Structure 1
Amino acid sequence: MTPIRPAIAAALLLAAAAAPAAGFFDDFDGTGGAGPAWETATWHNGPPFGCGFAYSEVWKDAGRMVLNVNAGTGRCGEIRTVQKFTYGKFTVRLKASDFAGGNTSFFLYTGDAGTASHHEIDIELIKGGTVLHTNVWKAGVQHYRQFPIAAGWQTLGFEWREDSVRWFAVDAQGGETTLRRQAIAVSTPMQLMLNHWRGDDGADALSFLGRWSGGGGPAYYDWVKVE
């Protein structure tokens, strides 16, 4: 057998590292917590988050994942996949909360926020679920755009490729409308995350989410898919 030259071997390793991860689907059937494919957050991120993540605010109900903001206890919900992904098409059907100062999200994440290790691709529904915030962070630097969006159930997603990220909406017939395309190269594997939280009414939270109204309640996720 002909030996593989070092340069060829390095290229093969690079190609393997950049290959898309296996697909993923969860329709959140059953009862109880998030399930074995997910980790549930049990910590407080600090500013601009105005609540701490807890098991008590994550549960399944009628085939949906519920992530709750509990205005009375100061607790909220976040889950992330055990699996990491590199490239792919990420789609969610969700219904954001409608109270002021809240955030309902679907995103990829890795690293320490604001540092060179921080990479992230975001869908966040803010301002009572009427604004879609799209963002990609590379090495702690963000590139965002916002769009008005109707309240209620939405099917949204992003397609992460080697050289770009494309955000899209899906209509009732399954047709896609591209909302935005950002030329950017991000290749670090990331976990898929869902969270629902409120701002702390500090300066960063006020500029991003607006003032928290004192409200709370659930955000719903019908299904998530990676392909």
Structure 2
Amino acid sequence: MKQLFKACVLALPLATLACSSTVNANYFKDDFSWGHDTAIWNARSGDNGSPFGCTFKPEMINPSSHGITLSLSNGQCSELQSKNHYGYGQIQGSLKTGNTPGTVSSIFTYTSWYDEPGRAWQEIDIEFLPSLGNVVHTNVIYQPQNGTYESWELDIDLAQYGLNIQQNLVSIGFDWGSNQIQWYVWDSNGAKQILRTVYKDNGDGHIANDEIPAYAWPVDPTKIMINHWHGDNSQNAFYFPGQYAAQAAWAYYDYIEYVPH
């Protein structure tokens, strides 16, 4: 039986064991054997509005003996959200996607004012969009409540690492720290390769291309999420994730792992 490990501290002088499962929770790895671990994940129900063109439904998550498939069809899609919130650490997994344009499959962190009033939207992304080809879309997103949306995007070609997300099971992740975020992948030879590194602004009065302003750095405990969705063919959706032609699609996830700092 799968189990979520909780962070525990000894509360003195009563010598009772107090456990926290909501902030900076401890290590987990879910290999999705016969489905997702319900101690770790909630299967999402509901929709996000435009440019999402589908409603998240738990029945679109298909289990197998090892790994799960997040399916979508016209108007229906799938998402898992962690029940707990997590701090700095490595978020990684292994997945393979189909080639349906207008869809997105992802591994990402997310928190916002929906978790806590007044909190900024903070997100770190790994996303695969067949409309872009054999690339991984990396991004950091920041938006204060009722404020301006900002993002720091970079697409990276996987072919240089001997990988194709539509042919290979790609093991990929990012390491989120207090001053650095680093995306990485294991190449076709099994060697770990750094894809991208961004840094928190060092305060020298100049924001370099690989820096993010200190005010926008993701700092709050966050959910870990995976999803598979399609766009609504609005103007925004044509930019991201591209035109969608009402086709069914899939994204297979072999595991997701969180390693705290």
Same fold (TM over 0.5): yes
Contact residue 71 and residue 78 of structure 2 kept, 8 A: yes
Distance 2:32 2:122 in 1: 27
Structure 1 counterpart of 2:152: 143
Structure 2 counterpart of 1:206: 238
Distance 2:152 2:194 in 1: 17
Structure 2 counterpart of 1:191: 223
Could you tell me which of 55, 60, 68 is aligned with 1:65?
68
Could you tell me which of 48, 51, 56 is aligned with 2:54?
51
Distance 1:215 1:136 in 2: 29
| Cα deviations by residue, 1:28-79 (Å, 9 ceiling, x for unpaired) | 0124x652310111101010001100111013113111111023xx111001
Distance 2:223 2:105 in 1: 17
Could you list the runs of 5+ residues in structure 2 that have no partner in the other structure? 1-22, 144-148, 159-163, 201-216
Q: Which moved more, 1:78-87 or 1:165-174?
A: 165-174
| TM-score of the pair, normalised by structure 2 | 0.73
Contact residue 111 and residue 119 of structure 1 kept, 8 A: yes
Structure 2 counterpart of 1:225: 257
Instruction: Name the amino acid aligned to 1:165.
Output: I
- The answer on 1:111 being equivalent to 2:115 is no
Q: Which moved more, 1:165-174 or 1:183-192?
A: 165-174
Deviation of 1:175 after TM superposition, in Å, equals 1.9
Structure 2 counterpart of 1:82: 83
Distance 1:131 1:143 in 2: 16
Structure 2 counterpart of 1:26: 30
Q: Which moved more, 1:171-180 or 1:216-225?
A: 171-180
| Cα deviations by residue, 1:193-213 (Å, 9 ceiling, x for unpaired) | 000000101111101221113
Q: Which moved more, 1:130-139 or 1:186-195?
A: 130-139
Query: RMSD value over aligned CA atoms?
Result: 2.0
Could you list the runs of 5+ residues in structure 1 that have no partner in the other structure? 1-18
